Structure 1
Amino acid sequence: MTTSQVNRRSKGEKTRLKILLAAIEVIAVSGIKGTTHRAVAAKADTQLSLTTYYFKDIKELIREAITLSSKTILNSTQDEWEQVFNLLDNFDAATLRKVSVKEQVCKQLSIIAANHMYDNIINNPTSLAVEQVFFTEMLYSEELKDLADKHISSLLKPFTRFAAYFNKVDPEIDGELTVIAITRIQYKYLATPKDEVNFDELHRLIKRQISWVMGLKRQ
């Protein structure tokens, strides 16, 4: 492969990614049905012919954009989950049953979670809006339901693992209920002006949910 071929390929890949990222933004605002080649081209500030060149079928463009968004959303939580599990693994099961220990751990975990969620709300509202699509439009779309199921399953795994530290019987139920609560809290702030997002309120909501999973009385 010549240098010119590599350069052309690199430019083409950048253009393709630019189109995918624009599609994600359109999906976040307009949903699946409102995503068209023309809307994506306008958002990407590129020629319509380029979007149809790289993605001849709008369904292909939407599917690839959704797949990229899913990977980005899930990868964005890896560092926080690593902190959570590293903290929990410092204690044996007997120690984690102590109320004083659980209260201290709850405080630490609620700060980790609140900081991450606040950052998402302020700096990544597009990701939150697209994730909402996973729970609404895509679950009822025959063509995209498999992607929604895969995303939601991956999203649930760490929550179920977290719940299993405190519930050995049916942690998957606690995990799912926590996902529902957490996502609902985040989506609540999507329409809120950034300067009106109250970190302390967000922290209280998160702490209450975490304390419930940990079996603590109202925190």
Structure 2
Amino acid sequence: MTAIQYQGRKTRRAGSEQRRQAILEAALTIIVREGIRSVRHRAVAKEADVPLSATTYYFKDISDLIADAFTLFAERAMADVIEPFRQQAFALMESFSADDLKDPAQLERLLKGLSEMTAGFIINEVTQRRGHLIAEQAFLQEAVLDKRLSDLADLYLRQQMMLLEGACTLLGSEHPRMDAELILSTMMTLEQRLLVHPENALMEFVQPRMHNLFSKLLAHAHG
């Protein structure tokens, strides 16, 4: 799978597309609030304030509705979460030259900037976009059971891996893909942990952990 693809009935009119989007957003709301097993045509129709016949018209199969809800989630996450972070991170990294990073003081400046930026991103996800993280966890878990979602999850994670691999390459990593995997797994583990313990969603908790990770990666690249 190389592009995001929707499963349900396609629409040709703007009004129809708005109703279809409302149905998918209602499904995501239910997933975040009650869990994926609560997604039923009647519940979604009530949440979206549309006739029951509308949900069954666009999505005869409830699995298609769930798949398309997660497709909408992934599409928005890539545009609204991943891409802005990529722009911010690359702007920071590109402000340092290779010669700059030979200077321990400059290297530490970059380390501090990257760890604070990444920690801020994680904290914002937990405190301001909690629903996004819950939907992501549900999406990745459901992908274990649904082949269509596993392909979409692979694409979603691959987009993030490409961002991080590019960053690791820019930082001079000898093994950018493996370093990218380590960063992504660390971030996702921290996010999952903070969903359970939001009282730890603080800069003094998250930043040292990201600093520790980045310092090891950069020390190896510039040691």
**Same fold by TM (over 0.5)?**
yes
Q: Which moved more, 1:114-123 or 1:196-205?
A: 196-205
Counterpart position of 1:5: none
> 1:201 is matched by which residue type in structure 2?
F
User: What does 1:163-202 correspond to in 2, within 5 Å?
Assistant: 163-192=168-197, 197-202=201-206
> 1:52 is matched by which residue type in structure 2?
T
Counterpart position of 1:12: 16
Alignment partner of 1:126 out of 122, 131, 149: 131
TM-score (norm 2): 0.81
What is the deviation of 1:143? Answer: 2.9
What is the deviation of 1:178? Answer: 0.9
Counterpart position of 1:205: 209
User: What does 1:50-199 correspond to in 2, within 5 Å?
Assistant: 50-75=54-79, 76-192=81-197, 197-199=201-203
CA contact (8 A) 2:30 2:39 kept: yes
What is the deviation of 1:140? Answer: 4.3
Change over 3 Å in CA distance of 1:169–1:143 after alignment to 2: same
Change over 3 Å in CA distance of 1:140–1:176 after alignment to 2: farther
Counterpart position of 2:43: 39
Residue-by-residue CA offset, 1:54-106 (whole Å, 9 max, x unaligned): 22222221222111111211221322221221222223323223322111011
Change over 3 Å in CA distance of 1:203–1:71 after alignment to 2: same
Alignment partner of 1:25 out of 29, 35, 46: 29
What is the deviation of 1:157? Answer: 0.8
- Please give the alpha-carbon distance, in whole angstroms, between the structure 1 residues aligned to 2:197 and 2:159: 28
> 2:77 is matched by which residue type in structure 1?
I
- Please give the alpha-carbon distance, in whole angstroms, between the structure 1 residues aligned to 2:160 and 2:48: 29
What is the deviation of 1:150? Answer: 0.8
Give the share of equivalent positions with the same residue, in percent. 29
Name the SS for the 1:93 alignment partner.
Answer: coil
Change over 3 Å in CA distance of 1:48–1:215 after alignment to 2: farther
Name the SS for the 1:25 alignment partner.
Answer: helix
> 2:180 is matched by which residue type in structure 1?
G
- Please give the alpha-carbon distance, in whole angstroms, between the structure 2 residues aligned to 1:176 and 1:140: 23
Change over 3 Å in CA distance of 1:208–1:47 after alignment to 2: farther
- Please give the alpha-carbon distance, in whole angstroms, between the structure 2 residues aligned to 1:28 and 1:12: 25
CA contact (8 A) 2:143 2:149 kept: yes
CA contact (8 A) 1:139 1:148 kept: no
What is the deviation of 1:175? Answer: 0.3
